[in-house]
Amino acid sequence: MISVSHEYRDRVYIRKDILLKLTEYGELNQTNLLSYCGLNLMKHRDILESLERKGFIKRTEIPWGNKKVIKYSVTEKGRQFCRMVLEPYEEIFPRNEKNDREQS
């Protein structure tokens, strides 16, 4: 049961990292986004798909020869969600214990 809670918290921060990176860079191809956020496509694809389905990020496929490049950008809904929900969440529940102890 403890691992489920921990897993959920990790996913919250993964979502925040994705939204922040896309806000910072405007648009990133899939490879760069995953690299900057320290993610693995096979393991974290569901998070990207969920953010897209819910309207927080936008996925664009651009033809490049006989392949395609996948790019992501944050939507206004994603920016607002980050400001109104994720940033306050991180203030209340910091990522590491050091920040948690400093605020106590």
> Tokens 């400093």, residue?
102
User: By CB neighbour count within 10 A (0-12 exposed, 13-18 middle, 19+ buried), where does 15 fall?
Assistant: buried
DSSP state of 52: H
DSSP state of 10: H
Q: Mapping DSSP to helix (H, G, I), strand (E, B) and coil, where does residue 104 land? A: coil
Tens digits of pLDDT across the chain (104 residues): 444 444 445 787 889 899 989 988 999 999 999 999 989 889 899 999 999 999 999 999 999 999 999 999 999 999 898 888 878 887 888 877 554 445 44
**What is the pTM for the complete model shown?**
0.75
Which domains, from first to last, does the chain contain? 2-103 (1.10.10.10)
- Report whether 71 contacts 28 (CB < 8 A): yes
Cα(33)–Cα(31) distance, integer angstroms: 6
